Amino acid sequence: MTVLPAPSSLDRTGSRFGGLRTRVAATVAALAVTGAAGAVAVATSSPATAGPGGVVVSESFSSESLPAGWNAVDGTWKVANGRLYGTSASSSENNKITFGRHLNDFRLEATMRFETVSAATRWASLGIDVPADGATPWWIATMRSGTTAANGLEFAQRTTGNAWVVTNTASAPYAAGTGRDVRVAVEVHGNQARWIFDGREAMRTNSLQRSADGVQGLFVNGATVSYDDVTVTELAANGYLRPEGSPFTVIAHRGASAAAPENTLVAQEIARKGGADWIENDVQPSRDGVPFILHDGTVDRTTDGTGTIRDLTAAQIKALDAGSWFGPQYVGERVPTLAEQLADLRTRGGNLLLEIKGKHTRDEVATIIQVIRDEQMTGRVFVQSFEVDALRHTYEIAPELPLGLLRSSLDADPVALAKELHLTAYNPDGNALLAKPEVVAPLHAAGVAVMAWTMDSAGLWQRLERVGADAIITNRAAELVGWNAAFLQRPSADPTVEITSPADGARLDRAQSPVIAVATTNADTVTVTLDGKKSAAGRKLDLAKLTAGRHTISAAVTGPEGTATATSTFTVTVSQAGLGYLILTSGADPGAVTAMTTKLVHAQYAELATYADRQAGKLVPTEVAAVIAADARTLALK
């Protein structure tokens, strides 16, 4: 097992966006974390420093004792037969073992197997952020043995008051049950996490509230669960790139602007409840320098007032009705300040994609950043703008904030511009991107995400998914969340191949005549070889011409989504009956057939081998004579 100490610093590649492809809709509840308990020392076995991509923990439980640095907090934990076993005596016991070290961006994965359960509702968990001594509060990614239930998978927090706050639930494609290995993982980027069940994303959350020193852990409740191949890998901070097979990050344009008055707290709340990953809003200053959330240069369209925002004081703006223009149920909604919006996101969950709207002086940008810092939201705010100077000012003042450049048309060299401006994302008009999708690959190669705006139809989402966009800014966030959920349930487009005949491990004698059978899905081409030589599916194997022993059939397929391979090894066995079949079908002279059959019946195998050798190319065809002689000598040795 390897546990590496924390590095002194990490390269900045952006904040935690959770480069996650799909969100399953879930209500984000108000959350509170009251501070971590005292730390328990975690042993380290290497002085090396991990970094993005570095393995921090790797444990296959090859010894017969708990690994060094693993702290069995409660319950029964033991190592046996190359696995870690955890037992919880009842459903009222949340037993745990902790390990690793505090990481902001990481992937925790393990093979889990329910050995016994008291009920299908019992569970095991990956600990995401757990005090080393196991004290509350802690966060877990949970799997029930009845994983196909609506809450078969969960993200949840156990509070200091020993209450549960379940922020997200989902069902798995099949039940874990008992006695079945399931490979599970959770990828964490700050307050966001992605639940991965057997290689496929099942759901996400952006509601984690992280501690300053929580480590990783394993949990068991009302069951005995075994674990194997536990790995913790540190990830780069920029999780904005969409992992393969994951749908979009959902960004609600001006909040839920199709359902509520844009850029208001109610629009933010509706977008949050609809499952949006990020809220996109615009910020501009009042005459007295207070940053407000407003898109237009004037208040005319979205309030009951008139005038340019920069000509109005904060008090004048706060007196305006920002809801009645949209619908009578929103009468009395106010234009929020940036501080009010950030406070709401901090306490109720969510992240902000903040557009600095229009030209801003360096001092005005500094005021915006100070509000972000005062609200303790630097880890959950992503700044974007059409204005290059605004981005430059932001980077100079707060290099920890990720930056996105908005574009109506594509630049000649987006990668070079991204490098110059220290961009985490390049955010073009979606239609411009679709007209030139080849820009995506080089941006991704440079570690820059692509967020397209403002795209509001399923047809456009599908096209953008195909070209590799990472996030969608949309007025229809709830619909995109639903589209993402359907995307998760789609059949895999990856090609598959299986050799169904001869079955792997089959033992065949000369009298059998198997046909090569290959089952494929999503494959355009199929290539089959026998012992490295070209063959084909549907071809009958002539076992009379194969040497005794092991033979290998290989199949390779290619499809639109990649390649796949399979092998099947079978053994041609030597038996008296098989040799008899070989002689009778050899095409030898009838007199030779009689002579060889007589020797076979009397078990005169050595004499039979000698006879076949002498008559090769004479009374017995040369090729089959060699096989008859070889099989006869094999039988003579038995």
Give the residue numbers annotated as catalytic, written as ranges: 253, 295
The Cα 147–Cα 122 span in angstroms is 10
CB contact at 8 A, 195 and 26 = no
| Alpha-carbon dihedral sign for residues 225, 230, 235, 240 | negative
Instruction: List CB contacts of 133: < 8 A, sequence separation 6 or more.
Output: 37, 38, 39, 40, 71, 73, 98
Q: Are strands 223-234 and 105-117 parallel, antiparallel or unpaired?
A: antiparallel
Query: Which tokens go with 23?
Result: 């969100």
**Helix runs in 9-153, H state only:** none
The Cα 286–Cα 292 span in angstroms is 7
Q: For the packed helices 622-636 and 576-584, what is the interaxial angle rounded to 10 degrees?
A: 160
Whether cis (ω within 30° of 0) applies to the bond prior to 437 is no
Burial class of residue 119 (count of CB atoms within 10 Å of its CB; 0-12, 13-18, 19+): exposed
Burial class of residue 555 (count of CB atoms within 10 Å of its CB; 0-12, 13-18, 19+): buried
The Cα 208–Cα 187 span in angstroms is 12
Among 552, 541, 539, 629, which residue's Cα sits nearest to residue 583? 629
Among 232, 218, 217, which residue's Cα sits nearest to residue 106? 232
What is the layout of strands, in order, in the sheet containing 549-559? 507-508, 562-572, 549-559, 525-530, 533-535
Estimate the share of the chain in helix, then strand, then coil, as percent rounded to the nearest 5: 25, 30, 45
Query: What is residue 426's DSSP assignment?
Result: E
Phi-psi region of 316 (alpha: psi -120 to 50; beta: other; left: phi over 0): alpha
Among 197, 181, 206, which residue's Cα sits nearest to residue 126? 197
DSSP assignment of 275-307 equals T-SEEEEEEEE-TTS-EEE-SSSBSTTTSS--S
DSSP SS3 for 445: helix
Query: What is residue 330's DSSP assignment?
Result: G
The Cα 326–Cα 311 span in angstroms is 24
* Residue pointed to by tokens 């240069």: 297
The Cα 338–Cα 323 span in angstroms is 18
The Cα 82–Cα 84 span in angstroms is 7
DSSP SS3 for 432: helix
The Cα 479–Cα 76 span in angstroms is 46
Q: Are strands 381-385 and 352-356 parallel, antiparallel or unpaired?
A: parallel
CB contact at 8 A, 228 and 111 = yes
Q: Report the DSSP beta bridge partners of residue 250.
A: 472
The Cα 260–Cα 335 span in angstroms is 13
